[in-house]
Structure 1
Amino acid sequence: MVTSGRGWVQEWSKERREISPGDVVWIAPGVKHWHGATDKTGMSHYAIQETLEGMNVVWMEKVSEEEYRK
């Protein structure tokens, strides 16, 4: 849930979308995605995740500047 600022979220092979305070984002388990502040604003958010088979997150590669700005 976004608490302040503006951000972006993008699931693998889908369009990036903007998120704002009050927005709740749900990503299904196992779906590759990224989220963060926009290129012009900061963003604060709460993240809740569950543990599946002893793991709660798999960090992937860093989002490139090119991907970030698409």
Structure 2
Amino acid sequence: MQITRKRPDTRQGPAENFTGTVWLDELAAPEPPSRIRMFSVHFTPGAHTAWHTHPHGQVLHVTEGEGLVQRKGGAVETIRTGDTVWIEPGEWHWHGAGPRTFMTHLAVVEAAEDGTTADWHGHVDPANYPS
């Protein structure tokens, strides 16, 4: 058993992967052979990810606020505190805060053999983000 009492500093999500202001807190990145990674992600109103996929899928659990999630070709879905979303491996999607609300979620992924946790595919067209 290992108890982690000191975590990396909160960092801002990079502009190439996020629209708006997003803050990332790494909660868990155990030593190999584990490949689990867990983050608490804090989105300001209107902030969201770019389109992306995960090699082994992703679990999102909303801990605060209201947000949006969309898979490629699907409808934009509202997610709220207490909701859990399973994103299939390789499924193109984006997620983030609603246009007028903050949203925080836990994001859990399993890294691929090479350490990759996400493949990024470009920003969401602003004309397709709900206002």
5+ residue gaps, structure 1? none
For residues 23-46 of structure 1, the C-alpha deviation after alignment (integer angstroms, 9 at most, x for no partner) is: 001100100000000001010000
5+ residue gaps, structure 2? 1-60
1:39 maps to amino acid: P
Of 74, 93, 99, which aligns to 1:33? 93
| Structure 1 residue runs of 4 or more that deviate by more than 4 Å after TM superposition | none
Corresponding position: 1:47 with 2:103: no
Taking every aligned residue pair, what percent have the same amino acid on both sides?
Answer: 40
2:123 maps to amino acid: K
SS across alignment from 1:69:
coil
SS across alignment from 1:35:
strand
Q: More helix by proportion, 1 or 2?
A: 1
1:51 Cα offset (Å):
1.5
RMSD after superposition: 1.3
| Number of the residue aligned with 1:61 | 122
Give distance in 1, aligned partners of 2:121 and 2:80: 24
| Number of the residue aligned with 1:16 | 76
Give distance in 2, aligned partners of 1:12 and 1:52: 22
Q: More strand by proportion, 1 or 2?
A: 2
TM-score by length of structure 2 reads: 0.51
